[in-house]
Structure 1
Amino acid sequence: MTPEVAIDLFREALWLTCVIVGVLVVPSLIVGLIVAVFQAATQINEQTLSFLPRLLAMLVTLIWAGPWLTRELMEYIQTLYQNIPYVIG
């Protein structure tokens, strides 16, 4: 295996990780920002108030994007397994 192939495999894995994390975290961040603005506007300083909406946003995101994320991960793993003979040789 040449260094270029190793770097390319690592780059693809890192990009897939960033996509998976981004798809899951961004909706939670947006909901957290909306709740924080609401708390600032109403002067409610309850820490637990922002937890439930973010948890629900994460659950809805997992239900909505879960099949796509799983398919992307499985395609990457299948491609990786299919390229094993080319990487070793």
Structure 2
Amino acid sequence: MTPADILDVARDGILTVILVSAPLMIVGLVVGVAVSLVQALTQIQEQTLVFVPKIIAIFATMLLALPFMGDLMAGCMTRVMAKVVSGG
């Protein structure tokens, strides 16, 4: 493999990681902001209150997005193995 091929594989891996983690990160961000807004409006300043809704929302999102995430990772692995087998 040439250095350009290695950079292509690395770029593909980084893009795959971003796409796989994006749904979970976005849901965690939205739920965190929503709970923080409720805490600010009600003046309840409990630090552990944000974790339970965030965990439940991320778990539900993971269950829904798992086929999408698996397809992305399988596609990335297929492309990497094709490059390795073909020698570039």
Identical residues among aligned pairs (%): 28
> Matches of 2:62 and 2:14 in 1, distance apart?
20
Quote the residue 1:74 is aligned against. Answer: 74
Could you say which structure has the greater relative contact order, defined with CA pairs below 8 angstroms and 6 or more residues apart?
Answer: 2
1:38 is matched by which residue type in structure 2? V
**Partner deviation per Cα, 1:7-28 (whole Å, 9 max, x = no partner):** 1110000010111122211101
> Matches of 1:65 and 1:5 in 2, distance apart?
30
> Matches of 2:72 and 2:86 in 1, distance apart?
22
Taking structure 1 as the reference length, what is the TM-score of the superposition?
Answer: 0.90
Please say if residues 28 and 57 of structure 1, whose CA atoms lie closer than 8 Å, have aligned partners that are also in contact.
Answer: yes
**How much has 1:83 moved relative to structure 2?**
2.4
After TM superposition, the structure 1 = structure 2 runs for residues 1-89 of structure 1, keeping only pairs within 5 Å, are 1-87=1-87
Over the aligned positions, Cα root-mean-square deviation in angstroms equals 1.2
Between the two proteins, the alignment pairs up a number of residues equal to: 88
Structure 1 stretches lacking a partner, 5+ long: none
> Matches of 1:18 and 1:87 in 2, distance apart?
27
Taking structure 2 as the reference length, what is the TM-score of the superposition?
Answer: 0.91
**How much has 1:84 moved relative to structure 2?**
1.4
Please say if residues 5 and 87 of structure 1, whose CA atoms lie closer than 8 Å, have aligned partners that are also in contact.
Answer: no
Query: Structure 1 55/79 Cα, relative in aligned 2: closer, same or farther at 3 Å?
Result: same
Please say if residues 27 and 58 of structure 1, whose CA atoms lie closer than 8 Å, have aligned partners that are also in contact.
Answer: yes
> Matches of 2:85 and 2:57 in 1, distance apart?
42
**How much has 1:82 moved relative to structure 2?**
2.3
